[in-house]
């Protein structure tokens, strides 16, 4: 079996995580790394991987079969377009772009050139999220009616020493909340409107350190999402799912999806319901939806390799990434204007 040769554009925090997957499986090879920093150059040297300061040169010389774009948000579309121009399938980290207009531009370019784009919403590859979506979409909670979602965590001061993270587009809504929006879309279907508030009172940076959104789904279900990266809590996907061993495991739910026949906590996958004929004061029956854990980043890379081989479609397409981006940016847009934002209209105007 010949290894699938995948190049890295951007070898920072998440770029290293992808390379851990690539270097840990002989089915893959890191074709080259493009990242101008001395740290990236040293990493490439240590691992004996060709290194380039300039990613365009790298794409032309290393000729990878696929490329991963793990640069700052503001650079995803430029690098993605460079891959598409060379007909190289691309895994673009989330968010697909830093504006809806730029996301649509990238998606259209991919379609015109018939080059697939996979967007790095890795949680969609996590068996926990797959089981949650199957349970809900299979009618396990009846008609989804009200949804509560949270991403509440604490980032250390040095996280914000990186300049781009303090600039618009680098804040917690677009970095973290976007994953939760994507999970909500996966479980509960399309989001058609958002009304939100945001605040930056803790750090005082240009980017928000908290946001709260009311969400309307196309199905008619309603939801709320609370986001902050400046609070000490166990209520985030990471602390509940064990997806990333860096975080302690507290097993609390970050999503509560409730419906006419029952409810589901995620990531615990505790499924609750009343038996027919029971009253609201009766104890609920509960079970835990069975799931076999797997590493979401490994699963994501397996999908990417299949996409490169032409054997599968991206689990998260460019269109999906753009729609998730629009629903996420609608939070900042609504917070800035004080008005509700309709997602279809927002997609059209970019
Ligand atoms: N899916 C996930 O779980 C996940 C987790 C963290 C970050 N992300 C996303 O990944 C992206 C990167 O985040 P990070 O935390 O790794 O950032 P980071 O700052 O740690 O790394 C970014 C890297 O890109 C490099 N870079 C910048 N401009 C470049 C260019 N023109 N060419 C090549 N390299 C360039 C920088 O030198 C840096 O090493 C962001 O878009 C973020 O939203 C995704």
266 membership: H or E segment, kind and range = strand 263-266
Q: Which residues, judged by CB distance below 6 Å to any ligand atom, belong to the binding site of ligand 1?
A: 9-15, 34-35, 37, 40, 55, 70-73, 75, 93-94, 120, 122, 162, 175
Give the nearest ligand 1 atom to 11 CA. 39
In the chain, which segments carry CATH 3.40.50.720? 4-123+296-316
Question: Which residue has tokens 């689990």?
Answer: 315
Alpha carbon separation from 162 to 12, 158, 166 (Å, rounded): 11, 8, 7
Q: Is the peptide bond before 267 cis (omega within 30 degrees of 0)?
A: yes
Give the per-residue pLDDT at 189: 98
CB atoms closer than 10 angstroms to residue 74: 16
Give the per-residue pLDDT at 168: 82
Whose CA is closest to atom 38 on ligand 1?
A: 12
Give the per-residue pLDDT at 169: 76
Pairing of strands 51-52, 210-217: unpaired
The third-level CATH classification (topology) of the domain covering 127-293+327-342 is: Dihydrodipicolinate Reductase; domain 2 (3.30.360)
Give the per-residue pLDDT at 349: 87
Give the nearest ligand 1 atom to 164 CA. 19
- CA 9 to centroid of ligand 1, rounded, Å: 9
**pTM for this structure?**
0.96
Question: Is the domain defined by 4-123+296-316 classed in CATH 3.40.50.720?
Answer: yes
- CA 272 to centroid of ligand 1, rounded, Å: 40
pLDDT tens digits in sequence order for the chain, 350 residues long? 799 999 999 999 999 999 999 999 999 999 999 999 999 999 999 999 999 999 999 999 999 999 999 999 889 999 999 999 999 999 999 999 989 999 999 999 999 999 999 999 999 999 999 999 999 999 999 999 999 999 999 999 999 999 988 988 789 999 999 999 999 999 999 999 999 999 999 999 999 999 999 999 999 999 999 999 999 999 999 999 999 889 999 999 999 999 999 999 999 999 999 999 999 999 999 999 999 999 999 999 999 999 999 999 999 999 999 999 999 999 999 999 999 999 999 999 87
In the chain, which segments carry CATH 3.30.360.10? 127-293+327-342
Torsion of CA 35, 38, 39, 41, to 10 degrees: 60
Whose CA is closest to atom 5 on ligand 1?
A: 14
């Amino acid at each position: 079996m010949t290894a699938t040769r995948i190049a890295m554009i951007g070898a920072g925090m998440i770029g290293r995580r992808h390379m851990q997957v690539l270097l840990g499986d002989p089915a893959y090879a890191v074709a080259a790394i493009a990242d101008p920093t001395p740290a990236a150059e040293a990493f490439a040297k240590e691992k004996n991987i060709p290194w380039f300061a300039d990613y365009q040169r790298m794409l032309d010389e290393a000729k990878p079969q696929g490329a991963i774009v793990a640069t700052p948000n503001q650079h995803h579309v430029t690098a993605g377009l460079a891959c598409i121009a060379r007909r190289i399938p691309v895994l673009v980290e989330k968010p697909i772009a830093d504006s809806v207009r730029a996301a649509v531009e990238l998606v259209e370019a991919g379609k015109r050139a018939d080059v697939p784009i996979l967007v790095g919403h890795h949680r969609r590859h996590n068996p926990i999220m797959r089981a949650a979506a199957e349970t809900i979409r299979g009618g396990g909670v009846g008609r989804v009616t009200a949804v509560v979602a949270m991403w509440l965590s604490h980032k250390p001061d040095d996280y914000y020493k990186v300049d781009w993270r303090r600039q618009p587009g680098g804040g917690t809504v677009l970095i973290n909340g976007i994953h939760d929006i994507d999970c909500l879309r996966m479980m509960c279907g399309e989001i058609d409107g958002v009304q939100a508030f945001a605040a930056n009172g803790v750090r005082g940076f240009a980017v928000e350190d908290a946001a709260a959104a009311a969400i309307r789904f196309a199905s008619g279900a309603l939801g709320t999402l609370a986001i902050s990266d400046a609070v000490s809590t166990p209520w985030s996907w990471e602390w509940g799912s064990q997806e990333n061993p860096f975080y302690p495991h507290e097993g609390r739910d970050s999503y509560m999806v409730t419906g006419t026949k029952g409810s589901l906590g995620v990531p615990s996958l505790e499924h609750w319901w009343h038996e027919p004929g029971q009253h609201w004061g009766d104890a609920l029956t509960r079970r835990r939806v069975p799931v076999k854990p797997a590493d979401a980043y490994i699963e994501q890379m397996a999908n990417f390799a299949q996409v490169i081989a032409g054997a599968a479609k991206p689990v998260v397409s460019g269109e999906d990434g753009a729609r998730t981006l629009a629903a996420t940016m609608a939070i900042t847009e609504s917070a800035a204007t004080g008005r509700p934002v309709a997602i279809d209209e927002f997609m059209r105007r970019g």
